[in-house]
Amino acid sequence: MLFRSSFRKDFAQTAGATFVALFTIIVTTVLVRTLGQAAGGTVDNAEVFMLILLGGLQYLPAALVITVFIAVMGVVSRAFKEQEMTAWFASGLSLHSLIRPVIRFAIPLTVLALACSVWLTPWAKAELDAAKDRFAKRSDVSKVSAGQFRESGDANRVFFVERQSELTKQVENVFVVDAKGENRTIVSASRGKVEIDADGQPYLVLSEGRRFALDGTGKRFTSTEFETYGVAIDNTLGAAPSYQLQHRRVDYLIADTSLPARAELLWRISLPLSALVLGLLAIPLAFVNPRGGQSLNQVFALLIYLTYSNVVSVTQSMVSKGKLDFWLALALPHLAVLLLFWFLLVRRNRPAGAAWFRRPASAKLQLDDVVGNQEIKP
C-alpha cells in the first residue's frame, strides 16, 4: 500500500540522519572526556582511539531508542504540517493506520538495541575497564611521557622528564618528588635509565644530579650531589579488575538469582523494549495544528524519553532492593505507556466536539423525528 510504503521510507531516512547526529554527539563527548583522562595520566595515550570507540559503544542502545522516537515524531509531525495527513484522512484512513508501519519500522531497531544492550554494551564496558586496569598495573616509569608530570600507582611519587629517547630508552632532565610520611625527597638529574637487578627489582638509575631531603618539621634540610643514584620502581600489580554486574554476560545474569543481578537483567531488557513503546507513543504525540506555529517536537521527544528512562531506573532500583517483583517491574512501565498511547490515539481520532460515548438509540430516534417533522422553508 502506498500509505505504508511512503511512511516506512520516510521513517528510514529520518532515522538514519538522526542516528548519525546522535552518535556524532556521543563520540564527541567521549572524545573530550578521554583526551582529558589521557592528559591527566589515568589512561594510556596509545589506546585513546580504542577507548573512544569502546566508550561510544556503551551508549548505542540509548541512541537507538531515541532514534526511533525522534524519527516517528519528525515524520508524522511533518505530515501534519504539510497537510499530508489531511489527504490521508480524506481517503478514509486514520491514525490507527500508522500503527502497522511504525511497528515494522521499530521492530528491527528494537532487536538491534536488545542485542547491543544484552551483549555488546557489557563487553564494551568490560574492555574499557580492563584497558584502564592494564595501564594502572604498569610500572611507574613506563607511564612517563616527555613533558608531563606522572604520578606513581601509590600516589607517593611524581615523575617528570623533559625528553625521552625511544632508541636508547634513556630519559633526560629528570625530576622526582618522593613523599614518605611527612618527609619529602626531591631528586633532579641530567639523565637516567631503567635497570633491573638480580632479584628482578627495577630501578631508575639517575646520573649527575642532586638530592634534596626535608623532614616533616621543616628544620632539617640536606642537599647531596651524586654521580649515580638509584630510585626503586613500584613493580607490584594493581588490584584485580572489578567484574561488576554491568560487565557480566547475560547467561551468567540469568543463572544468578540475586536481586542485583535481577535488576541488571531488567535494565538490559527494558531499555530496548522502550524503543517499540515510544515509537507507538510518538504517533498521537506528533499531532501538529497546521495553522499553528512551529512545534518543538524534538525537544519534547527527548524530555519524554528521559522521563520514561527514569521510571525504568526507579523500577530497577526497587527490584534490586526487593520491593518489586521482576516480572511486574518489567511489564508495569511499558503497559502504562501503552495505555497512555491508546488513550491519546482515541482522543486524536475523535472528531472535535464529539462525545466520548455514543448517544442512546432512543434519543437518536427522537432527534431524527424532530428534525424530520420540521418544515423546510426556501
Instruction: List per-residue pLDDT tens for the chain, 378 residues long.
Output: 666 677 788 888 888 999 999 999 999 998 888 888 777 666 777 778 888 888 888 889 989 998 998 888 888 888 877 777 777 777 777 778 888 889 999 999 999 999 998 888 888 888 888 777 766 655 455 555 566 666 665 567 777 777 766 555 677 778 788 777 777 888 888 887 777 776 666 677 888 888 888 776 666 778 888 888 777 665 544 444 445 777 777 888 888 888 888 888 888 898 899 899 999 988 888 877 666 555 555 566 667 777 888 888 899 889 888 888 889 988 888 998 899 888 888 877 665 444 444 444 443 444 344 344 444 444
In a domain, 281, yes or no: yes
**Amino acid letter at 221?**
F
Full-model pTM:
0.68
Indicate if 7 and 108 belong to the same structural domain: yes
Indicate if 153 and 123 belong to the same structural domain: no
Indicate if 119 and 10 belong to the same structural domain: yes
> How far separated are the first and last CA of the chain, in Å rounded?
46
DSSP state letters, 101-168 = HHHHHHHHHHHHHHHIIIIIHHHHHHHHHHHHHHHHHS-TGGG--TT-EEE-TTSSEEEEEEEE-TTT
Indicate if 257 and 132 belong to the same structural domain: yes
Domain boundary among 211, 232, 253: 232
Quote the domain boundaries for residue 264: 2-136+243-349
Indicate if 43 and 124 belong to the same structural domain: yes
Indicate if 170 and 116 belong to the same structural domain: no
Domain boundary among 182, 198, 232: 232
Indicate if 128 and 62 belong to the same structural domain: yes
In a domain, 44, yes or no: yes
Indicate if 228 and 163 belong to the same structural domain: yes
In a domain, 356, yes or no: no
Q: How many C-beta neighbours within 10 Å does residue 103 have?
A: 13
In a domain, 207, yes or no: yes
In a domain, 237, yes or no: no
Indicate if 152 and 106 belong to the same structural domain: no
Helix (H, G, I), strand (E, B) or coil at 2: helix
Cell 564527541 locates to 28
Looking at the structure of the chain, the number of domains it has is 2
Contacts of 177 (CB under 8 A, 6+ apart): 157, 158, 184, 185, 186
In a domain, 369, yes or no: no
Indicate if 192 and 257 belong to the same structural domain: no
